[in-house]
Chain A
């Protein structure tokens, strides 16, 4: 016999996103028939009553109280569901990303005293407090990995100039990833150790290059993130220069890869000059930048993350170095390309990684020409405008799945282009979460005699907690066309779009 149970959480205010998340979790539990998780306004109490969910104390709750009500197979299941809600509501509210381990140390000084040999502080306090903590760490002779965002650029300039004066590193602010002496920090992948040193002002760019190096059979000595603003004119590339210098002096590093958006001209010349003087081969991947300046400085230009990884791996493994143009020009075979429905012509890129979205845009521009490329749409769903009040799409797949359902309903959509980023800190099964949404979207389109292609690349390694092969297999089973890199995925998408008829007058 079904059990109806309700629990009241007095004066409990959680944002709607969190309430929906908890409701969805409860509804998906085995043995739960119905669940309601609402503020106990009179109107909502009536609805709960009509649905047979109003029991006990819930009937006396008010609009500032949260009611969780379930109809379950039995008492035990009902209690379990309510306990789950209570646990979720008891904390500070979790977004799934808070797996930080607690130590007893409450200050940087205490931690340093406890550990003795520590030489790095990882700071992920709110941006407001991050500068003060970073200053304390630098004062104590610690390098800083600054995960916090919303740190003013003036603070960044000050922190980095102090670090330079002390011979320390400040990685960040808003630094998402690094691998130091084999230890992954932030969102990082489990990458084979080797002789290639990386310095990057791009989070998912660094992940993509390091994963592809692993895929090509080479390995990484150090992967240093410096934060997206490091090559801004005002910061002057302070940490990319410092990182380059360290790797040049590091006996474990045989060659160096620099990854960034094109820097300001004055910064570029300083970085390239330093690259030319490193005494080791340097591959420069200034996404969308001018290769001639790189060649003139005596370094090797790479147009995409994949070509950066391919060139560096070839050097590390003593193989012939592929020309960047060859990599940029490689076209997918026609036989991998599916047909698309009549009237479908548009590429809809739904990205969780900002740098990967940037790379896809560049490739569409290169392959299709700027006018054509503009008619397509590449969204970076990790940007603030999409994540206000919601977890980042690398952690929580629901935001992207909603967009996926929406673009799949658009009859103009010919290709959905995706990135799947694995590694520490990412969702435990991103491919599984996507595959379900893709299946549902396809079924809906099929009922209207429509079809669309899904093209994706998985940024990860076999050693990642999610496992590269099993994640790729899950996507393949959902009919996703898989590419080994984001650059190739974008080229496949472009080719499909080019072969689809474009209606006259269609604009973005």
Chain B
């Protein structure tokens, strides 16, 4: 039995494992540096430490290419408070030595008005940097406005008016209309986490960070998620509704809302480096969300 120690476990994971009880789970999918485990309550993800904290995640180092360590979709998984075991691959990931990590983005209590004011001042600069540094795939086209190679464009054309309707609804504080506007974005676009979902997660993160009453609006759109988007995305959307986000989104918001202007370019570079288009898609959502939450006048972009 190969034993590895997880380095980080999301605070949202342990209660979930407890809720699931001793029933065996199944490997859902295996990637170069991640393994997803299907549960009746969404996916649990074991990912390489490089991915940072994930709301549904356990961080562990299982080698250079996890597709080659004998773990296959459908294999039985036993998860307990102390370990995740995949007997078919002779693999045990111990959780006992791992640090806990909270995926919650709580509202900034002190200085929220000042933070919003700061965003109104620096938002345009952040948009400019994002425009220059994001990649062109996915919703990156909304930043660029410079046309796109075939393939992806129809998604963008469809997403554009939906995002406009969504931000308008959020600006007027109308959770119901915001939820209906978000419906069409769920499952829309390329990637394992479709672009529309990534943007919605970003918007929710921004609303949570600035403590807007519209935070959590997605709950009204997040029904039947398993029929409407991929399992990975459905899981992350459910966490977003609960105010739980990946560590990289925490880091992006910390930089965008922090006191150091100079930290923004590097933070945006790191944000867009995530996955193929997911990083850019989420960044678009975060920027839109911050504009809405801080009451920034948006100009045509």
A interface, CB within 8 angstroms of B: 11, 13-17, 19-20, 23, 27, 33-39, 41-44, 46-47, 50-51, 62-64, 92-93, 95, 125-129, 148-150, 384-386, 388-389, 402, 406, 409-410, 507
Contact = CB atoms under 8 A, between A and B. Distances in A.
A41 B194 contact: yes
Contacts of A15: 31-32, 34, 192, 275-276
Contacts of B232: 13
B132 A406 contact: yes
A33 B149 CA distance: 11
Given A47-B154, A63-B228, A507 B262 contact: yes
A27 B32 contact: no
Contact of B228 (A38, A43, A148, A410): A43
B193 interface: yes
A16 B189 contact: no
- Which interface residue of A37, A47, A410 has the most chain B CB atoms within 10 A? A47
Contact of B190 (A11, A34, A37, A149): A37
Interface stretch (B10-18, B60-68, B99-107, B164-172): B60-68
Interface string B191-203: 1111010000000
B186 A43 contact: yes
A232 B255 CA distance: 34
A389 B32 contact: yes
A39 B135 CA distance: 21
Interface string B1-28: 0101000000000000000000000001
B111 interface: no
A297 to B, nearest CB: 38
Contacts of B28: 13
Interface string B258-277: 00001000000010011111
Nearest to A399: B273
B151 A36 contact: yes
B160 to A, nearest CB: 13
Contacts of A11: 73
Contacts of B229: 39, 41, 43, 63
Nearest to B65: A126
A416 to B, nearest CB: 15
B185 A43 contact: yes
A41 B275 contact: no
B135 to A, nearest CB: 5
A43 B231 CA distance: 15
B278 interface: yes
13 contacts: A15-B34, A27-B151, A34-B150, A38-B190, A38-B191, A41-B194, A43-B229, A46-B158, A50-B158, A63-B227, A126-B62, A129-B63, A388-B274
Q: Which 7 A-B pairs have the closest CB atoms?
A: A126-B63, A41-B187, A13-B29, A16-B191, A43-B188, A16-B276, A128-B63
A390 to B, nearest CB: 8
B150 A27 contact: yes
Given A27-B149, A148-B64, A384 B278 contact: no
A34 B148 CA distance: 13
Contact of B192 (A16, A93, A402): A16
Contacts of A507: 262
B69 interface: yes
A19 B192 contact: yes
Given A11-B73, A93-B67, A385 B50 contact: yes
Contacts of B51: 388
Given A19-B190, A62-B227, A92-B68, A35 B150 contact: yes
B189 A384 contact: no
B64 A150 contact: yes
Nearest to A11: B73
A46 B50 CA distance: 35
B226 interface: yes
B137 interface: yes
B248 to A, nearest CB: 10
Contacts of A129: 2, 63, 69
A248 to B, nearest CB: 34
B155 interface: yes
A406 B65 CA distance: 30
Nearest to A95: B32
Contact of A127 (B61, B192, B274): B61
Given A23-B190, A39-B230, A63-B227, A150 B61 contact: yes
Which of B2, B4, B132 has the most chain A CB atoms inside 10 A of its CB?
B132
A42 B158 contact: no
A148 B69 CA distance: 14
Most buried by B among A27, A127, A389: A389
Nearest to B262: A507
B190 A20 contact: yes
Contact of A93 (B32, B155, B186): B32
Contacts of A46: 158
Contact of B187 (A27, A51, A63): A63
B216 interface: no
A16 B278 contact: yes
A195 B32 CA distance: 42
Nearest to A23: B151
B239 interface: no
A388 B50 CA distance: 7
Given A50-B154, A128-B4, 6 more contacts: A17-B276, A38-B189, A39-B191, A41-B194, A43-B187, A63-B228
B61 to A, nearest CB: 6
A46 B270 CA distance: 32
Nearest to B73: A11
Contacts of A35: 150-151
The CB with the most chain B CB atoms within 10 A, among A23, A39, A46, A64, is that of A39
B80 interface: no
Contact of B61 (A38, A125, A128, A410): A128
